[in-house]
Amino acid sequence: MTKLSVNINKIATIRNARGGSIPNLVEAAKRIESFGAQGITVHPRPDERHITYQDVRNLQPVVKTEFNIEGNPTPTFIDLVLKNKPMQVTLVPDAPDAITSNAGWDTKKHKDFLVEVIAEFKRNGIRTSIFVDPVVEMVEAAKHTGTDRIELYTEDFASGYEKGNLDTIRPYIASAKVANRLGLGINAGHDLSLKNIKYFKENIPNLLEVSIGHALISEALYDGLETVVKKYLQLLK
């Protein structure tokens, strides 16, 4: 079964719109785990516009499943991760002013930087994953960074699927086959939803984990958080 890690950034966005602690992020994480999700993902950004650094510190002792911290490995982010020691860190090359992640790493251009950062996390017992576009060349170069896994950036697939263009899955299949051959674990995320997750999962060999936030929280507004989490779990079997 492919594991479901729920990104709770959007819950923090709702909280921050009013200030205070409603909805409560820790309580939300506990409930999501109790509904069966196998992980909690957070993506703190420098301006802390949704997940704050204090949120990470609050969640670290509470999350009992896999805790995954995503972000651009700036010195401040690296320090946060090393102090909180999640099970997994996902490195994403997003600019400080990015609304959301919009591209994977150029794993050839940034190889030396990634090698250094990944080695530091691995010395501290933290599994590493790096965000990559579904480009075979970038997957092959990712192997030389020392990362444990790649996370396939799935916006192009989701956009194509919405338009009925199922051929957009092809680069992902090719990239997954290369990752499997190289011994890289495969995660995926961005714009995956109840509409497209089953097709994506069925076509990607050895998909280990998906990280889903925006769609899942939006769908939960209609059907409830427990119902939606359990729907994803069923589709990921």
**Is the distance from CB of 196 to CB of 171 less than 8 angstroms?**
no
Distance CA 187, CA 105 (A): 15
Task: For residue 23, give the amino acid letter.
Answer: P
Distance CA 187, CA 131 (A): 9
Would you give the DSSP letter of residue 169?
A: G
> Residue 188: in which H helix or E strand, if any?
strand 185-189
Whose tokens are 């080695």? That residue is 119
Check if 162 is active-site.
no
Distance CA 237, CA 233 (A): 6
Q: Which of 33, 66, 151, 190 is catalytic?
A: 190
Distance CA 173, CA 12 (A): 33
Q: Which of 228, 214, 220 is nearest to 8 (CA)?
A: 214
Q: Which of 70, 151, 209, 219 is catalytic?
A: 70
First to last CA, the chain: 5
Check if 214 is active-site.
no
Check if 50 is active-site.
no
Q: Which of 43, 66, 151, 219 is catalytic?
A: 43
User: Which of the residues are catalytic?
Assistant: 43, 70, 190
